[in-house]
Copies of this chain bind each other. A is one copy, B any other.
């Protein structure tokens, strides 16, 4: 048994426990608390397995699932960059790249390189697999906002146009059929809010 390899693998599995403490902006659907990045990644793994048929192009759903299980691990070092935060994309990319090198570097070299390479493919969002993974990573929080009557959109004063521009391109590119549904939901959501009384909006 390659005992040193196993020790490195256990160090990695131990380290990534910390992703359970990275809190995202999105709430759970029952609004009892905010979601963390580990359970978000679990949910996305199941989004991939359940919604595979809506992917654009030809995807290997096992690679997509794996990509989604590890896509947020860098947040252990840099935290969650919220979609409505207006942060610098360059700074984020640099910090996340360093985090990926450190954390996947805990694994035995060959395995760590394979994980790092898959994470980089996700970030580049060029392959069909990565495009679908990115689409789901946008689709899930959009769903949360629709199902919680506005969620982070309300908190951040996000307009319908901003929803379209921040979620639309990634979802449309990786899963156009899912975007068709999103467009309906989002239009409906903002149309309800426009016609609601101020008291309804406060609630």
A167 within 8 A of B: no
Q: Which of B13, B18, B177 contacts A46 (CB 8 A)?
A: B13
Shortest distance between the CB of A119 and any CB in chain B (Å): 13
Q: Mark A58-69, 1 if CB is under 8 A from B, else 0.
A: 000010011001
Q: Which of B1, B18, B41, B70 contacts A177 (CB 8 A)?
A: B1
Known: A51-B9, A180-B1, A181-B6. A46 touches B20 (CB 8 A): no
Kindly state the separation between the CA atoms of A95 and B50 in the bound complex, as whole angstroms. Answer: 24
Copies in the complex: 2
Residues of B contacting A47 with CB < 8 Å?
A: 13
Number of interface residues of A (CB under 8 A): 45
A30 within 8 A of B: yes
Task: Offer 21 A-B interface pairs, CB within 8 angstroms, sorted by A.
Answer: A1-B54, A1-B180, A3-B181, A14-B147, A16-B43, A17-B43, A18-B30, A19-B42, A20-B43, A21-B28, A21-B32, A36-B39, A38-B38, A38-B39, A38-B42, A42-B42, A42-B69, A45-B69, A46-B69, A46-B70, A50-B107
